[in-house]
Amino acid sequence: MTIEDPRIETLRQLREQVRLGGGLDRIHQQHAKGKLTARERLDLLLDEGTFNELEPFITNQADEMGLIKDEFFGDGVVTGYGQINGRTVYVYAQDFTVLGGTLSSMQSRKICRVMDLAARNGVPIVGLIDSGGARIQEGVKSLGGYAEIFRRNAQYSGVIPQISVMLGPCAGGAAYSPALTDLIIMVEKKSFMFLTGPEVIRAVTGENVDAESLGGAEIHMAITGTSHLNAKSEEEALALVRYVLSYFPSNNVENPPFIPSSDDPRRMEEELNGIVPLDPTLPYDMHKVIKLVVDNQEFLEIQSGWARNAIVGFARIGGFSVGVVAQEPSELAGVIDIDASDKIARFVRLCDCFNIPIITFVDSPGFLPGIDQEHGGIIRHGAKVLYAYSEATVPKITIITRKAYGGAYIVMSSKYLGTDVTYAWPSAEIAVMGAEGAVNIIFRKKIESSPHPDEERQILIDQYRSQFNNPYHAAKSGYVDDIIEPRETRLKIIASLGALRDKFTASPPRKHGNIPM
């Protein structure tokens, strides 16, 4: 019989202390707020039994003010690695039960260590955030700790997927780490993000606001565009991490996972042949178009509540992971405005970083006119879309379903921005601008000198429409690759994705480009 080394029992006791974080009372307080602990969250996030903790015995160092008397294992963050759907990820989960999950120099070191290991091994990093921000008692050390994290967020951007899950407060400059990552997932009524909280705002500007209305999940989904996905519960948020990662490769030199689909790759979708109204002023549902094309109608929309005139999200088509970009003609007629530009450009770059082909559905009358938009910098923001599509080297496939007027035609992944395949539906209208605007400009004198200006205008509009508001003149000059029946869209995209699977492009060497910001 083996006589156990008594030091093993000591280890077990210490491990139990590690597991309890800030202690049972704090755990009860966390539960009373309807929140899970860091370890409970990691259990939900990772495949069962795959979590391996790192540096659990690190403790908080004495703060300069000598205010923190207790020593806590882990120093407010649980770090390590595990698996999601059989693929390795590195994780960190801030532990609010220890000093409010605040960031100290040691906590920063732990987080930076898993970030470095994730980058070195080419796997995603997922951060579960629940913290009061920089630990005030540590002064500049905690600020330096954040700087170390931000630098890594930037350096590893486009190398490994970085996902931030907001499960509690994220106040002050701390909000910049999630903002630097690829995707932010927030929990409704449980998480909030702001640079200056309600108290500071009240003191500085006199405005009264509560945390939820200042930086809750709904605000960041509908108004600021900061949250990419909102969840109703922590469980749902963690399940979303697992789901969204299924569209991503582990790093920038891998391809995203190909998952053979039960949906017939040759499926013709008859409903699409009647989806675009004959009257070009009537809207239709682009979300429905997307769902009818992709595998099993499964579309994970990102930033669904913000800039709703633009749609971005992930899907599979014939088993290939793709990023979908589109206009929603039912929202502001699908115009491109400042927010839509930012939304599309960032998503295109996200897909391009991680070798995810981009499918673009175009139906836009153009950029939104107006003093607000011009003075708000629509030139600068719209340029981001041009830059992002031009720079992207992943397979790019465009389907013009209806309007592709002027700037909208060009910026939305048009053929000569380097798009690999451009299809148009017979309902496509490709022109510098809509018939009425065009006729008023180019035939102004003719209309003014006509004895019957209104009839003259209408005749000219009809002529313009029959000449330009169709895809045939663009196809004749080679500006679209083919005109297809809408019901063929799925199989045409799948064939293109197969043909572009080994796409290779070379760009001139440079340090990095200078995207308009």
Closest contact distance (angstroms) between CB of 105 and ligand HXC is 13
Kindly state whether residue 169 participates in binding ligand HXC, applying the rule CB under 6 A. yes
Q: By the 8 A CB rule, do 186 and 224 touch? A: no
Give Cα 239 to chain centroid, integer Å.
16
Partners of residue 143 on adjacent β-strands? none
Closest contact distance (angstroms) between CB of 208 and ligand HXC is 16
Closest contact distance (angstroms) between CB of 176 and ligand HXC is 6
Residues 6+ apart with CB under 8 A from 25: none
Pairing outcome for strands 421-424 and 482-483: parallel
Q: In this complex, which beta carbon is closest to ligand HXC, that of residue 153 or of residue 251?
A: 153
Closest contact distance (angstroms) between CB of 305 and ligand HXC is 24
Closest contact distance (angstroms) between CB of 27 and ligand HXC is 13
DSSP structural state of residue 514: -
Q: Is 431 one of the annotated active-site residues of the chain?
A: no
Q: What are the strands, taking DSSP E only, across 389-514?
A: 396-405, 421-424, 429-431, 482-483
- What does the per-residue mask of binding to ligand HXC show for 144-163, with x meaning CB under 6 A? --x-----------------
Structure tokens at 91: 């994780």
Options 165-173, 288-296, 361-369, 457-465: segment touching ligand HXC (CB under 6 A): 165-173
DSSP structural state of residue 208: -
Q: Which residue out of 23, 139, 173, 418 is catalytically annotated? A: 173
Partners of residue 88 on adjacent β-strands? 83
Q: C-alpha distances in angstroms, 410 versus 350, 398, 402, 465? A: 20, 11, 14, 20
Q: In this complex, which beta carbon is closest to ligand HXC, that of residue 131 or of residue 251?
A: 131
Kindly state whether residue 30 participates in binding ligand HXC, applying the rule CB under 6 A. no
Q: Which residue out of 340, 407, 424, 428 is catalytically annotated? A: 407
DSSP H/E element including 312: strand 310-317
- What does the per-residue mask of binding to ligand HXC show for 73-112, with x meaning CB under 6 A? --------------------------xx-x----------
Partners of residue 312 on adjacent β-strands? 302, 325
Residues 6+ apart with CB under 8 A from 341: 378, 381, 382, 384, 385
Kindly state whether residue 135 participates in binding ligand HXC, applying the rule CB under 6 A. yes
Closest contact distance (angstroms) between CB of 97 and ligand HXC is 9
Among 139, 173, 225, 516, binds ligand HXC (CB under 6 A): 173
Q: In this complex, which beta carbon is closest to ligand HXC, that of residue 134 or of residue 491?
A: 134
Go through the chain and tell me how many residues it has.
Answer: 517
Rounded Cα distance, 291 and 398, in Å: 16
Options 7-15, 35-43, 172-180, 494-502: segment touching ligand HXC (CB under 6 A): 172-180
Q: Is 132 one of the annotated active-site residues of the chain?
A: no
Kindly state whether residue 307 participates in binding ligand HXC, applying the rule CB under 6 A. no
Q: Which residue out of 172, 215, 313, 323 is catalytically annotated? A: 172
Q: Is 407 one of the annotated active-site residues of the chain?
A: yes
Three-state secondary structure call for residue 474: helix
Nearest CA to 111 out of 122, 125, 131 is that of: 125
Q: In this complex, which beta carbon is closest to ligand HXC, that of residue 170 or of residue 412?
A: 170
Helices (H), 122-216: 140-155, 176-180, 198-205, 211-215
Q: By the 8 A CB rule, do 79 and 43 touch? A: no
User: Can you say whether the dihedral through the CA atoms of 82, 83, 84, 90 is positive or negative?
Assistant: positive
Q: In this complex, which beta carbon is closest to ligand HXC, that of residue 199 or of residue 502?
A: 199
Kindly state whether residue 143 participates in binding ligand HXC, applying the rule CB under 6 A. yes
Closest contact distance (angstroms) between CB of 187 and ligand HXC is 14
Kindly state whether residue 223 participates in binding ligand HXC, applying the rule CB under 6 A. no
Closest contact distance (angstroms) between CB of 125 and ligand HXC is 19
- What does the per-residue mask of binding to ligand HXC show for 181-210, with x meaning CB under 6 A? ----------------x-------------
Q: Is 172 one of the annotated active-site residues of the chain?
A: yes
Rounded Cα distance, 394 and 389, in Å: 10
How big is the site for ligand HXC, counted in residues (CB under 6 A)? 18
Structure tokens at 43: 């259990």
Residue with the two structure tokens 């669904």: 304
Q: Which residues are catalytic?
A: 172-173, 407-408
Residue ranges binding ligand HXC (CB under 6 A): 99-100, 102, 132-137, 143, 146, 169, 171-174, 176, 197
